[in-house]
Amino acid sequence: MTVDTAQLAANLDAVRARIRAAERAAGRPAGSVTLLPVSKFHPVEAIAAVAELGIELVGENREQEARDKVQALTELGAPCGIAMIGQIQSKKANAVARWAREVHSLDSVKLANGLDRGMALALERGDRPEASRVLPCLIQISADGDTSRGGTPEEDVPELVDTVEAAEHLALAGFMVVPPLDADPRAVFENVRSLTDDYSQRLGRQLAFSAGMSGDFEDAILCGSDIVRVGTAVFGPRPVI
């Protein structure tokens, strides 16, 4: 599939400039925010193109699509991994463990245990390289307690953190949130930033906070987001499927 690499490069430059401006507005060091382009529904050639422009990780929402793209990227020799950012059914844990560079949507003890078992199995079968024995995970927070859209309620976070910390093949890397449509996004961002700082202090290491998409990532950065998930502003409108 033909990809407009010049347009992708321009889009990427524009998003990176907006991130730098938001960092300055927040009084944060340049480069303190990581861009995670979201490539859902876009062709693998577009991912390969942004990899040539310095992107090392993209986000995908659907297991089958992500799995196929990982295989295609390997065949293309494109140095870009894929993070799972969408809701994961527990029965898909083994499959996700075979290909995911990271998971940003961990939302239950059951899923954590499934991913840990899946990692052990993938390593035993040679589906993952030995250098990738641990799967970094971000816990997704449900800001309103409605877990049908993904995320764990805050009251369940302590048990989930303990489970990840005890897992042989998982590493807690931080927290992620998607504000509900009827919520005040900045209040949601600030709350999960505070949660992230609290657990960073408890665990004695810096955890990352992922929040903000194409429409609100500047606000998220002002509220302390370390990772912004940007799809449309990088890749353009999603193709009609």
- Could you tell me the two tokens for 43? 């062709």
Fold that domain 5-235 belongs to in CATH: TIM Barrel (3.20.20)
pLDDT at 239: 73
Write the CA distances from 226 to 23, 148, 188, 223, integer angstroms: 10, 26, 15, 10
pLDDT at 231: 96
| Intervals of the chain under pLDDT 70 | 1, 240-241
pLDDT at 160: 98
pLDDT at 227: 98
pLDDT tens across 47-72, in order? 999 999 999 999 999 999 999 999 99
What pTM, to 2 d.p., does this model score?
0.95
pLDDT at 148: 85
pLDDT at 240: 62
Neighbours of 96 (CB within 10 A): 24
Write the CA distances from 234 to 38, 62, 112, 184, integer angstroms: 8, 19, 31, 25
pLDDT at 151: 96
pLDDT at 36: 98
pLDDT tens across 129-148, in order? 887 899 999 999 999 988 88
